């Protein structure tokens, strides 16, 4: 009898264990991927975090986002498979999203309080800690490319406004009329959210075949922003960070909190100085420190072994990843 009872307890316990493992696996696919062996290459992207719900995101619109995220991932993936650099993968992937009016970056940038579009972007090379960024630009078609050009062709890290445009022109980048960034959807959104702020941004992190990491972030900032407000996206250490010794990070969310909590660098520092894993460090920052502070949003990150983490504390975050041994997957909700 005793033996039967203990066998029964054993069976129940093991089925509970299996169930909890299944739940953990499902969670880990949606928010992090821990690889047993180092990945030859890996890429992770976001298309903004926010209060998405089935009410404000129709199935059709959700499909459009999924298709757009997949197309962006395909671009970066191709670059990495062909042996291209993490930096190239990050820039090309973000350009695809900047050219798509769905995202709050480049073409689809949100409007400021004054009915203008002011764009921010940054990029960082984890192999040598080189970085470049532009902030508050109004006429550069692809701010991520301008950020990279600041990194490679100027002695500076950050250029803003008219000076950044002049630099981009001198470097032969594509300049557009500020009206290029006008989209009915974003303009109407401004009218609607003039009382209620809204988030959205794009980012990409990659690990290439040479073991180099890179990160980039591009945004139109927050709808209804005033006084040439600049968020975290163009600030190295806040919205973007990459270091071959640790990880590459791109953030999205309420920028003021990401600046004050130096979110992207904090994740790298927790790995470097405290020995935390990518998952532990990113979850501590996003789901503990930021939650306690009241800062909503999320990050995507990849470490030097190709592990991926995509934690967020908002309702949803457009995101996706691919690695050498996993086909691309894209998600919105938890």
Binding region for ligand ASP (CB under 6 A): 48, 199-201, 219, 221-222, 231-233, 239, 252-253, 255
Q: How far is the CB of 291 from ligand ASP (least distance, A)?
A: 16
Q: How far apart are the first and last CA of the chain?
A: 45
Three-class SS state of 251: strand
CA distance 118 to 186: 13
Minimum distance of ligand ASP from residue 296's CB (angstroms): 9
Question: Catalytic site residues?
Answer: 201
The H or E element containing residue 291 is: helix 290-293
DSSP code of 111? P
> Least distance (Å) from ligand ASP to the CB of residue 233?
5
Nearer to ligand ASP, 48 or 306 (CB): 48
Q: Which of 134, 144, 72 is nearest to 105 (CA)?
A: 144
Q: Do 256 and 292 touch, CB atoms closer than 8 A?
A: no
Largest CA distance in the chain: 86
Nearest CB to ligand ASP, comparing residues 306 and 320: 320
Considering the complex, state which of residue 22 and residue 51 has its C-beta at the smaller distance from ligand ASP: 51
Q: Which is nearer to ligand ASP, 222 or 332 (CB)?
A: 222
The residue (of 235 and 302) whose beta carbon lies closer to ligand ASP is 235
How many other CB atoms are there within 10 angstroms of residue 250's CB atom?
A: 33
CB of 102 to ligand ASP, least distance (A): 14
- CB within 8 A of 209, min separation 6: which ones? 40, 41, 80, 83
Measured from the CB of residue 48, what is the shortest distance to ligand ASP in angstroms? Answer: 5
- CB-CB neighbours of 328 under 10 Å: 17
Which among 71, 108, 117 has a CA at the least distance from the CA of 92?
71
């Amino acid at each position: 009898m005793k033996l039967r009872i203990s066998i029964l307890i054993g069976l129940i316990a093991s089925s509970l264990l299996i169930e909890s493992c299944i739940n953990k696996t499902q969670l880990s696919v949606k928010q992090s991927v821990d690889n047993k062996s180092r990945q030859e290459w890996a890429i992770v992207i976001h298309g903004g975090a926010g209060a998405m719900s089935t009410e404000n995101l129709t199935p059709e619109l959700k499909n459009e986002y999924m298709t757009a995220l997949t197309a962006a991932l395909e671009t970066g993936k191709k670059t990495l498979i062909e042996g291209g650099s993490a930096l190239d993968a990050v820039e090309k992937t973000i350009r695809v999203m900047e050219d798509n009016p769905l995202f709050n970056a480049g073409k689809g940038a949100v409007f400021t309080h004054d009915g203008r579009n002011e764009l921010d972007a940054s990029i960082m090379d984890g192999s040598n800690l080189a970085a470049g960024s532009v902030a508050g630009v109004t006429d550069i078609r692809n701010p991520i490319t301008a950020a990279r050009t600041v990194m490679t062709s100027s002695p500076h890290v950050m250029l803003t406004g008219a000076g950044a445009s002049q630099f981009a022109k001198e470097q032969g980048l594509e300049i557009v009329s500020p009206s290029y960034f006008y989209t009915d959807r974003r303009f109407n959104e401004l009218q609607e959210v003039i009382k209620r702020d809204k988030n959205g941004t794009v980012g990409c992190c990659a690990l290439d075949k040479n073991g180099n990491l890179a990160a980039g972030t591009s945004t139109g900032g927050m709808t209804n922003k005033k006084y040439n407000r600049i968020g975290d996206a163009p600030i190295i250490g806040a919205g973007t960070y990459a270091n071959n010794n640790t990880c590459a990070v791109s953030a999205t969310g309420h920028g003021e909190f990401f600046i004050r909590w130096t979110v992207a660098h904090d994740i790298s520092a927790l790995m470097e100085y405290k020995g935390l894993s990518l998952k532990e460090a990113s979850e501590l920052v996003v789901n503990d420190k930021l939650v306690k502070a009241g800062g909503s949003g999320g990050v995507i990150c990849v470490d030097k072994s190709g592990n991926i983490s995509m934690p967020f504390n908002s309702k949803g975050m457009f995101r996706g990843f691919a690695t050498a041994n996993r086909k691309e997957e894209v998600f919105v909700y938890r």
